[in-house]
């Protein structure tokens, strides 16, 4: 029974993650039956549980590319957006990129999710600083100047480790950075001025 159902679910295999509701719809079963099904498949490690009612195919996990994990990150914590060194590396601004670590900004509490060798890290900022990001396919990502400011903001308050020597400031628009940072605490502005040598 389950093998046939798994074949039916092959349409979900091209997604980095899926929901219990998706399983119920594809198999044409109730939500309750879908919950029983995904729980059993998770115990067999055919599915990987990401969070409540959200899963990924076990066979696909290590085949995911960077943007697939970005999409998973955006699902794990809502709302959130990819930022900090993850975004700076994506844009080619930083050479520092911790392997298998995906960093995001959220308005909720700082939290880490360790899932099958991948670490999804979420850093809390005030709601007034939760901006400066764009949507790309199935995830949200900070624009490069905002990713840099997010890093400096957390760094200035001792909440984030940052290797400044790994960041190529020349690839950033300084005028845009200082336009954005005007609304940030003076402590962040002072650190930014020191880094940019202004």
Dump pLDDT digits (tens) for 90-116: 999 998 877 899 999 999 999 999 999
Name the strands in the sheet holding 133-136, side by side, starting at the edge strand that comes first in the sequence.
Answer: 111-115, 118-124, 101-106, 80-82, 139-142, 133-136
pLDDT value at residue 98: 78
pLDDT tens digits, residue range 118-161?
Answer: 999 999 999 999 999 999 989 999 999 999 999 999 999 999 99
pLDDT value at residue 198: 55
Give Cα 92 to chain centroid, integer Å.
Answer: 17
| Whether pLDDT at 16 is above 90 | yes
Mean pLDDT computed over every residue of the chain? 93
| Whether pLDDT at 87 is above 50 | yes
| Whether pLDDT at 2 is above 80 | no
Taking the CA atoms of 96, 101, 107 and 109 in sequence, report the sign of the dihedral they define. Answer: negative
Q: What burial letters (b/e) apply to 74-92, b meaning 16+ CB within 10 Å? A: bbbbeebbbbbbbbbbbbe
Confidence of residue 21 (pLDDT cuts 50, 70, 90): very high
Confidence of residue 85 (pLDDT cuts 50, 70, 90): very high
Which part of the chain has CATH 1.10.10.10? 2-61
What does the angle CA 77 – CA 12 – CA 46 come to, to the nearest 5 degrees?
80
CATH architecture assigned to 2-61: Orthogonal Bundle (1.10)
Q: Which has the closest alpha carbon to 42: 78, 77, 17?
A: 17
Beta strands per DSSP E along 76-128: 80-82, 101-106, 111-115, 118-124
Question: Other C-beta atoms within 10 Å of 3: how many?
Answer: 7
pLDDT value at residue 76: 96
Q: What is the pTM of this model?
A: 0.93
pLDDT value at residue 1: 44
Q: Which has the closest alpha carbon to 126: 150, 145, 146, 161?
A: 150
């Amino acid at each position: 029974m389950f093998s046939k159902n798994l074949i039916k679910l092959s349409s979900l295999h091209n997604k980095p993650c899926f929901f219990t509701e998706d399983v119920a719809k594809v198999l044409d079963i109730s939500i309750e039956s879908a919950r029983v099904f995904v729980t059993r498949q998770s115990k067999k490690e055919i599915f990987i549980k990401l969070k409540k009612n959200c899963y990924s195919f076990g066979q696909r996990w290590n085949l995911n590319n960077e943007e697939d994990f970005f999409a998973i990150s955006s699902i794990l914590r809502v709302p959130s957006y990819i930022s900090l060194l993850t975004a700076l590396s994506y844009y080619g601004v930083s050479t520092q990129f911790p392997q298998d670590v995906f960093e995001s900004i959220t308005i909720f509490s700082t939290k880490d999710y360790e899932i099958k060798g991948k670490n999804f890290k979420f850093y809390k900022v005030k709601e007034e600083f939760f901006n400066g990001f764009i949507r790309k396919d199935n995830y949200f990502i900070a624009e490069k100047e905002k990713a840099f400011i997010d890093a400096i903001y957390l760094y200035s308050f001792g909440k984030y480790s940052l290797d400044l020597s790994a960041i190529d400031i020349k690839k950033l628009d300084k005028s845009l950075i200082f336009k954005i940072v005007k609304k940030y605490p003076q402590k962040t502005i002072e650190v930014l001025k020191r880094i940019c040598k202004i």
